[in-house]
């Protein structure tokens, strides 16, 4: 006979085994050798936390009370699993691509990261799941008590056992569920442990079933006869309940936080769903295969009034098969523990992420984002949440007294959790679903669930019988179990029907009339079109729906106006259907190029890949990138200004450098020209002085001639040196201007007479004296020098047979302009640009000067704020002098 | 960016083909069948609603028949689902220029 102590020992041994497995799996995962941990079968087995102690023990009790109705609890999930093409695949893909951590996170993320929604779902989940945890604790203590009754020597106390079981489970969940803050929220240790528990509970139930069918009844045929002969031997299922509970279990299968945890959050590879699609229904089928036989045999064998919920345990015990009873106990224990651990983990994640952390962050104010200890806080809050949830479970267990039928609590919890369904399904398949809609739908459904199912189910303490019978304040149509006066419906069906249908209706109507925020719309697009966004073949492909997302993204980067212009142009290029272009590969390429101009090619590619296909980063990341890009743009704008400045400076420097090089070259050319100019007279001076020194018997006439030549050449040298000195003084700006007031006519008179004096060539000068009476404030001697130079040039170079020089004076634009125009052939065009250069002479044959005259003129005129230039196309040599007028200068 | 292509070299975008190749067509119809499966399942599990139950109706269906009916179709659904899973795994992954917009997991 198995004593209570042996049982406790086995239990502890089993728990130690689970700890060991979880620990080893975590270690394996940490070292990266966890591939075998992540096979589709482990995933399938981890889904089996759907089968809690409620289904392990309770299904038999359910069958004993209501016949085959229990099977609906399994048929719903079966239908969901084999319809994974429709829904689950999308759910898992969304969960993975959005890095969702819980069902509350998914809902909040879909509806624009609304924390209010997350809190609503979290509260709903805690309210729905806490009784469920209490139910598991109850089943463990009940099974303990069965063994305790059979073992008179044992000292058993229900309260302490509940406490220790809860404490042990909390420790397990804390150790393996909150060990690290993984970005993916995956817990290899826990998943492996619950996979093992899944195998254990399946084997246990099958073993009891086989024992019952072949050990007691004697085969399939006899058991069938026995079933037909029993009190549940006829099909007697309430039709409404059959449909409603199938639907409810299907909804709960998707919405239960613990199912979401193992199915979506812990999912490692989407393809595992393909295997789970048939393997999990198979698991469910095996779990329910022997339920009716066990129930029937239990009803036959066990004494009247014994609890049918515990037939799985009591039948082997009654027949003295202690080891089978032990196995069965371990099976039930497994079902309860795995469910409690995962549920506590999932709930703690939700509570800490959506309730504790927001409160903590707002309490911390701005410091929170600066400190690095957020991770520790999250882990701590999760650990505390697990402990609190367990404590709540114990409290609920104590309050409820543990007496209610197991299945009833389970179904009430299902109906509560299923209220998430409209928001979930709407969020996944309908882009028009909005946060307001989800919030109102959830509130309506949640409220109706409490009013029509939870409160009436909890008895008279919370809802007086008068309300139940006559409605609140005597309003008959508001009776909790006969809303709108429609009576006679099963309370369960009634509640599910009204709460879910009104929930869905409120959700749809509120969604239709409200308007979503941009983030909501972006998230909606990400969720509904997840297959287009997060995966797909290489090369850009897409649908029109994506253009909207691309538009939103482009606006964040390029700015609204530019983005509109760009998209409009693209749409027109494609044939002008609507405002948004089709996301053809060509369009996507050009968009990428456009964006890469702003954010760089790699980022643009990643961002388009984000919306169109490729790696799965959440929208939040995308938005963060866009914000960063905006900052980068601003920064790069500043950089651009600076670089433009730099470019300008560089250009100036380059120009200065070119000038310097030119000047240096000019200097070299100047030096060589000066040397050349000096050498010619020096050579003749030397030659003639040598002749005079060395030649005997020179006649006086010859001597005079040679001396005259030497004198002339010396004079030429002096003139050249004077000119050079003059030029260098002028160029260095060291010249002292002798400014004075005078009249242009006087200056011209003096210049003409000086230039004409001693000239052997006749030159007629034509002047209009009337126009020359212009007052000047300038260096009159220097100006005269310029005039003399120009008149002398005309004398020297004018090749006309009857040379005439016309000097005309105008007032042009506030400047006095003096033109010197002769009737010669002028300066040939190719030489015009050269005449003001030093040593530039036109036709070396007429060499009269050093070629510095015009260069000096230019320098002088620059000093006098005037200008000298060559006038082409005047029918002869023509120079123009422009100089400021006296009154202008006085005005300065 | 590594896959930046020269726009001049890039071939013109061809319109998607109207008809699928044979194996793509098969895969598409297989997906249709897989989608149909839960509807068939729901229909099969709804049939017990038509069975006589409760007082005043015809002789109720014996429990053994009910069990055989439900578990048989349940198993059949599982087998069909497993068959689709295996078939989908065997078929080659879909080609790049898929004319229809249906997406298959790879």
Domains of chain A by range and CATH?
Answer: 4-419 (1.20.1730.10), 430-528 (no CATH), 529-617 (no CATH), 647-728 (1.10.287.130), 737-891 (3.30.565.10)
Radius of gyration in angstroms for the set of CA atoms belonging to chain B, rounded to a whole number = 23
- Measured between alpha carbons, how far is A887 from A798 in angstroms, rounded to an integer? 35
Which of A315, A385, A307, A381 is CA-nearest to residue A133? A385
A235–B34 CB contact, under 8 Å: no
Q: Report the residue from A227, A235, A536 with minimal CB separation from B51.
A: A235
Range ranked top by mean pLDDT from A305-309, A423-427, A517-521, A620-624: A423-427
| Mean pLDDT, all residues of chain A | 77
Chain B contact set for A236 (CB, 8 A): 53-54, 60
For residues A348 and A115, the model is more confident at A348
A82–B64 CB contact, under 8 Å: no
B37–A584 CB contact, under 8 Å: no
Helix axes A4-30, A115-150, angle to 10 degrees: 140
A242–B81 CB contact, under 8 Å: no
Whether residue B61 is predicted with pLDDT greater than 60 in this model: the reply is yes
**Nearest residue of B to residue A76 by CA position?**
B42
A882, A816 Cβ separation under 8 angstroms: yes
Digit-coded pLDDT (tens) for A832-852: 777 777 776 665 444 456 677
Whether residue A367 is predicted with pLDDT greater than 50 in this model: the reply is no
DSSP bridge partners of A810: A817
Indicate the pLDDT class of residue A239, thresholds 50, 70 and 90.
Answer: confident
A235–B95 CB contact, under 8 Å: no
- Measured between alpha carbons, how far is B36 from B30 in angstroms, rounded to an integer? 10
Whether residue B95 is predicted with pLDDT greater than 60 in this model: the reply is no
Whether residue A366 is predicted with pLDDT greater than 70 in this model: the reply is no
The pLDDT assigned to B13 comes to 45
**Nearest residue of B to residue A277 by CA position?**
B81
- Other CB atoms within 10 Å distance of the CB of residue A178: 23
Strand order across the A764-767 sheet: A764-767, A804-812, A815-822, A878-884, A867-870
- Measured between alpha carbons, how far is B106 from A270 in angstroms, rounded to an integer? 9
Mean of the pLDDT values across residues A446-458? 80
Whether residue A343 is predicted with pLDDT greater than 70 in this model: the reply is yes
Whether residue B12 is predicted with pLDDT greater than 50 in this model: the reply is no
Whether residue A653 is predicted with pLDDT greater than 90 in this model: the reply is yes
B78–A282 CB contact, under 8 Å: yes
- Measured between alpha carbons, how far is A103 from A511 in angstroms, rounded to an integer? 20
Digit-coded pLDDT (tens) for A518-554: 667 777 777 777 776 543 323 344 444 467 777 776 7
The pLDDT assigned to B104 comes to 42
Instruction: Tell me the two tokens of residue A544.
Output: 């029109």
Residues 6+ apart with CB under 8 A from A186: A265, A266, A268
Residues 6+ apart with CB under 8 A from A780: A738, A740, A742, A746, A747
Helix boundaries (H) for A695-823: 700-731, 744-756, 780-797
> With b meaning 16 or more CB within 10 Å and e meaning fewer, what string describes A580-605?
bbbbeebbbbbbbebbbebbeeebbb
DSSP state of A833: T
The H or E element spanning position A882 is strand A878-884
Mean of the pLDDT values across residues A572-589? 70
Whether residue A40 is predicted with pLDDT greater than 70 in this model: the reply is yes
Q: Which residue has 């149509």 as its token pair?
A: A477
Query: How far off is chain A from B66, nearest CA to CA, in Å?
Result: 7
* Interface confidence (ipTM) of the complex: 0.75
Query: How far off is chain B from A271, nearest CA to CA, in Å?
Result: 7
A359, A400 Cβ separation under 8 angstroms: no
**Nearest residue of B to residue A84 by CA position?**
B35
The pLDDT assigned to A460 comes to 55
The pLDDT assigned to A652 comes to 92
% of chain A residues with pLDDT over 70: 79
The pLDDT assigned to A650 comes to 93
Query: How far off is chain A from B26, nearest CA to CA, in Å?
Result: 17
Which of A835, A819, A789, A816 is CA-nearest to residue A879? A819
Query: How far off is chain B from A235, nearest CA to CA, in Å?
Result: 5
Mean of the pLDDT values across residues A652-676? 85
- Measured between alpha carbons, how far is A16 from A141 in angstroms, rounded to an integer? 19
Q: Report the residue from B63, B95, B103 with minimal CB separation from A536.
A: B103
Mean of the pLDDT values across residues A57-79? 84
Mean of the pLDDT values across residues A349-355? 78
The domain limits of chain B are 37-46+64-93
Helices (H) and strands (E) in chain A, counts: 39, 7
């Amino acid at each position: 006979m198995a004593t209570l102590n042996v049982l406790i020992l086995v239990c502890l041994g089993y728990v130690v085994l689970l700890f060991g497995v979880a620990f080893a799996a975590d270690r394996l995962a940490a070292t990266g050798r966890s591939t075998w941990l992540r096979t589709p079968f482990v995933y399938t087995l981890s889904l089996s936390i759907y089968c809690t102690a409620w289904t392990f023990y309770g299904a038999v009790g359910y069958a004993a009370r209501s016949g085959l109705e229990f099977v609906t609890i399994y048929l719903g999930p079966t239908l969901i699993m084999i319809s994974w093409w429709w829904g689950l695949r999308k759910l898992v893909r969304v969960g993975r691509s959005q890095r969702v951590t819980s069902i509350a996170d998914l809902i909040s993320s879909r509806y624009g990261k609304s924390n209010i929604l997350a809190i609503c779902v979290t509260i709903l989940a805690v309210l729905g799941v806490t009784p469920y945890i209490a139910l598991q604790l109850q089943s463990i203590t009940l099974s303990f008590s069965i063994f305790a009754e059979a073992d008179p020597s044992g000292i058993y106390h229900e309260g302490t056992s509940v406490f220790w079981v809860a404490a042990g489970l909390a420790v397990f969940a804390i150790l393996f569920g909150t060990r690290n803050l993984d970005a993916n929220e995956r817990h290899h240790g826990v998943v492996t442990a619950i996979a093992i528990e899944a195998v254990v509970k399946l084997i246990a139930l099958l073993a009891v079933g086989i024992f019952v069918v072949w050990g007691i009844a004697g085969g399939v045929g006899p058991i069938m006869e026995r079933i037909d002969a029993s009190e549940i031997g006829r099909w007697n299922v309430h039709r409404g309940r059959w449909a409603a509970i199938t639907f409810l279990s299907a909804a709960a299968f998707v919405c239960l936080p613990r199912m979401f945890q193992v199915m979506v959050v812990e999912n490692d590879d989407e393809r595992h769903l393909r295997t789970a699609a048939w393997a999990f229904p198979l698991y469910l089928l095996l779990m329910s295969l022997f339920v009716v036989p066990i129930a029937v045999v239990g009803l036959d064998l066990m004494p009247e009034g014994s609890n049918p919920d515990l037939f799985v345990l009591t039948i082997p015990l009654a027949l003295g098969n202690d080891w089978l009873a032990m196995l069965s106990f371990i099976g039930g224990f497994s079902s309860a523990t795995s469910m409690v651990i995962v549920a506590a983990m999932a709930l703690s994640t939700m509570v800490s992420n959506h309730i504790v952390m927001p409160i903590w962050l707002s309490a911390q104010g701005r410091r929170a984002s600066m400190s690095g200890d957020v991770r520790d806080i999250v882990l701590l809050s999760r650990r505390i949440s697990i402990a609190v949830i367990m404590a709540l479970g114990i409290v609920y267990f104590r309050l409820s007294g543990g007496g209610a039928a197991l299945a009833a609590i389970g179904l009430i919890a299902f109906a509560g959790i299923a209220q998430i369904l409209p928001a979930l399904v709407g969020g996944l398949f309908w882009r028009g679903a909005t946060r307001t809609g989800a919030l109102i739908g959830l509130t309506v459904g949640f409220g109706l669930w409490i009013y029509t199912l939870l409160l009436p189910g909890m008895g008279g303490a919370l809802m007086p019988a008068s309300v139940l019978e006559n409605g609140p304040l005597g309003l008959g149509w508001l009776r909790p179990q006969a809303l709108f006066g429609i009576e006679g419906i099963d309370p369960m069906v009634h509640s599910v029907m009204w709460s879910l249908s009104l929930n869905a209706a409120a959700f749809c109507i509120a969604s239709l009339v409200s308007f979503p925020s941009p983030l909501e719309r972006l998230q909606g697009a990400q969720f509904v079109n997840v297959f287009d966004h997060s995966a797909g073949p290489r090369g850009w492909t897409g649908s029109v729906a994506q253009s909207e997302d691309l538009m939103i993204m482009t606006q964040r980067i390029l700015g609204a106006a530019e983005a509109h212009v760009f998209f409009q142009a693209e749409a027109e290029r494609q044939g002008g259907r609507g405002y948004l272009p089709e996301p053809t590969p060509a369009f996507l390429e050009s968009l990428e190029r456009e964006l890469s101009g702003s954010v760089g090619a790699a980022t643009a590619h990643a961002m388009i890949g984000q919306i169109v296909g490729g790696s799965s980063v959440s929208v939040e990341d995308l938005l963060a990138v866009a914000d960063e890009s905006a900052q980068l743009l601003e920064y790069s704008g500043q950089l651009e200004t600076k670089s433009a400045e730099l470019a300008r400076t560089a250009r100036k420097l380059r120009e200065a450098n070119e000038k310097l090089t030119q000047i240096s070259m000019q200097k070299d050319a100047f030096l060589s020209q000066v040397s050349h100019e000096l050498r010619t007279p020096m050579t003749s001076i030397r030659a003639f002085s040598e002749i005079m020194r060395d030649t005997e018997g020179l006649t006086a006439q010859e001597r005079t001639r040679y001396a005259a030549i030497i004198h002339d050449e010396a004079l030429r040298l002096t003139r050249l040196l004077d000119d050079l000195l003059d030029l260098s003084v002028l160029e260095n700006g060291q010249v002292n201007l002798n400014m004075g007031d005078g009249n242009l006519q006087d200056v011209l008179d003096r210049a003409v007479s000086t230039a004409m004096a001693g000239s052997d060539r006749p030159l007629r000068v034509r002047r209009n004296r009337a126009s020359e009476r212009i007052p000047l404030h300038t260096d009159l001697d220097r100006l005269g020098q310029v005039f003399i130079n120009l008149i002398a040039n005309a004398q020297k170079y004018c090749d006309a047979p009857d040379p005439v020089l016309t000097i005309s004076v105008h007032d042009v634009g506030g400047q006095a302009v003096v033109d010197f125009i002769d009737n010669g052939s002028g300066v040939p065009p190719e030489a015009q640009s050269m005449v003001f250069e030093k040593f530039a002479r036109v036709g070396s044959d007429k060499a009269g000067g050093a070629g510095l005259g015009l260069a000096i003129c230019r320098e002088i005129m620059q000093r006098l704020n005037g200008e000298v230039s060559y006038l082409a196309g005047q029918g002869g040599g023509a120079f123009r002098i422009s100089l400021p007028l006296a009154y202008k200068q006085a005005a300065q | 960016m590594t896959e930046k292509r020269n726009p001049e070299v890039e071939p013109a975008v061809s319109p998607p083909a109207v008809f699928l190749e044979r194996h793509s067509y098969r895969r598409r119809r297989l997906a249709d069948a897989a989608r149909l499966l839960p509807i068939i399942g729901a229909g099969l599990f709804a049939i017990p609603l038509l069975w006589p139950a409760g007082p005043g109706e015809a002789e109720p269906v014996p429990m053994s028949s009910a069990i055989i009916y439900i578990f048989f179709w349940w198993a059949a659904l599982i087998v069909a689902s497993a068959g689709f899973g295996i078939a989908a795994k065997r078929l080659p992954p879909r080609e790049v220029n898929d004319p229809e917009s249906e997406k298959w997991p790879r």
